[in-house]
Amino acid sequence: MNSDNDLQIAGDLLEVPHLLQTPREHPATVAEFVGLARSIAADRSQWAHLVQYDATSRWYHRLRTGPGYEVWLLSWVPGQGSGLHDHGRSSGVLTVLEGALTERTERGTRALGAGAQRVFAPGYVHEVVNDALEPAVSLHVYYPGLTEMPMHTACTAPETHDEVDSVTA
């Protein structure tokens, strides 16, 4: 009879070095960048004491840099938004830490609650807005590091759905 308990590994896996991945000091894959964002989000001591709110402009703070990537902390008071933009040649992971944000794209509108994550590729055009009545905080990982943020004309995206979107790694 076969069962999960019948599975045995013959020999010592440590003797087969090609089966083992070398641990990395810094993330290098999309899943690892998502994991980095999740680990920072889970450890409020890394970011909560830094958050400031500015009614006149969005507040942001570069939290960390590594080889080829940057991590930014942003706050959003009600009504603040990014404007329609892309991130040039950078890919990214957006994680909502507190509150709620709305993302608008040409494909529609998406509500992002605390814990939601969005992964995007270079050239992805979107607008992020705090449409709620409470402030929000978000974490942004860019790889390679953000060197430009071209602005675009008004978003023509129809408001088609509201949903909380989270990434599973």
Q: What is the predicted pLDDT for the residue at 22?
A: 66
Q: Is the pLDDT score of 87 beyond 90?
A: yes
* pLDDT tens digits, one per residue of 108-130: 999 999 999 999 999 999 999 99
Give mean pLDDT, residues 45-71: 96
pLDDT of residue 164: 38
Cβ neighbours of residue 94 closer than 8 Å, sequence gap 6 or more: 103, 112, 117, 118, 120, 128, 138, 139, 140
**Phi and psi for 59 in degrees, rounded to 5?**
-95, 140
pLDDT average, residue stretch 91-103? 97
